[in-house]
Chains A and B, each alone.
Chain A
Amino acid sequence: MQNLENSRIKRNLLQALSFKNLPMKKVSDILARKGSHIISILPNATVLEALKIMADQNIGSVMVMEGNVFLGVITERDYCRKVVLNGRSSTDTQVGEIMSTGFPRIVPSDTIEYCMQALSESNIRYLPVFNADEVCGIISINDVVRETISSQQETITHLKDYLHTNM
C-alpha cells in the first residue's frame, strides 16, 4: 500500500514537472524584478549622445520619447547599419532619423514564451512594453533568458518544499 501511495505521489510530481503544465511567467514578472525605469532620449538628440547614454548605463538600446509619447528605440544595430554605411556621421545625425519602429506590441500580461517567439521571429534583442497607449518598460533577450532560468529554479524549490511537507 505504502509503495502504491508513493508511486502515485511520484507520478503526480513528475507530471507537475512537465513544463507545459506550469503557469507561464509573464512580462509583468520581469518588469517587477528589474523595475520599469525608462531610459529615454529625445528624437532630435544626436546619435553620439545616444551612444554615450548606452555606454554610461551599460545598455544596448535607448527609448526615443517626446514627453510621454513613445516614438521608437535606438539600438546598437541601428548605429552599425544606418550611419556610416549611409554616408552619415554620429555627430550630425539625429536619433529620430535612424531609430527602429514597428515593434511587436507587447503588454505586461503577455507570457515569456510569447516574447521568446517575438524576439526569435524578428531576430531582435529588445521589446518595448505598453500599458494602454503608454510605454511602461522595455525587456531584453537577456531578461527573457534570466526569467526562464529562474522559473526553472523555482520549480525545483517548490518541489523540495512539497516533498519536505508531504513525506
Chain B
Amino acid sequence: MRTVDDIIGSKPNPDNIISPDALVIEALEMLNTVNLSYLIVMEGNEYQGIFCERDYSRNVILKGRSSSSTKIKEVMTTDLPVVHTSDTVEHCMHVMNINKARYLVAFGPDNEFEGVITIHDLLRQVIANKELVFDTSVAEQLINNDERGDVY
C-alpha cells in the first residue's frame, strides 16, 4: 500500500519555508515565487505551522490587520491534522475528508517533522496508482469469512 513515506519521498526538498517572524507581505511574495499555495513555518529546525492562502484571506484584512505590519506567527495555521510516515494514502484521504482540510502535517517514528502533504499530493497518488491506494484486504476478508465463519 502507498504510504505517507512514498509521498514525502516523491516530493522535492521543500523551498517554501519561512520564519514565524517574517511579515505577511514577504510570505505573499514567496508564495508567488515558489508558485505554491502554502509555506511551511519553521523556527530553526522546528515545525511551527503553515501559512496558506486561506490564512491570508481570513485572518488579515477581515480582522483589521495589514500585510505589511503583521507577522506570520499571528495568522498562521497551527492545528493541521497529523499523520505519520507509515500511514497509508487511503488513511490520509479519510483524515483530509473528516477535517475538511487541504493539508496534513507528517511526523516520523520519533515524532520528527517530515513534511506537509497537500490534497493535490493525494489526488496525484490516486491518479497514478488507484489499485495501490485503496486497501482491498477488507473486501478480501469479507469474501473469505462471512459472519457465519470461514467459507473456504
Show the binding face of A for B, using Cβ within 8 Å: 3, 6-7, 10, 13-14, 17-20, 48, 51-52, 54-55, 60, 76-77, 79-81, 84-85, 90, 113, 116-117, 119-120, 123, 125, 141-142, 144-146, 148-149, 152, 155-156, 159-160, 163-164, 167
Show the binding face of B for A, using Cβ within 8 Å: 25, 28-29, 31-32, 37, 53-54, 56-58, 61-62, 67, 90, 93-94, 96-97, 100, 102, 119-120, 122-124, 126-127, 130-131, 134, 136, 138-140, 142-144, 146-147, 151-152
Q: What are 11 A-B contacts with C-beta separation under 8 Å?
A: A14-B136, A17-B136, A55-B62, A60-B54, A81-B32, A113-B127, A141-B120, A145-B96, A148-B93, A156-B139, A159-B142
Task: Known contacts A146-B97, A152-B134; decide if A160 and B142 are in contact (CB<8 Å).
Answer: yes
CB atoms of B57 and A80 under 8 A apart:
yes
Taking the closest CB of chain B, its distance from the CB of A67, in whole angstroms, is 27
Residues of chain A contacted by B139 (CB below 8 angstroms): 13, 17, 155-156, 159
Residue in B32, B67, B123, B143 whose beta carbon sits within 8 Å of that of A10 in the complex:
B143
Taking the closest CB of chain B, its distance from the CB of A81, in whole angstroms, is 6
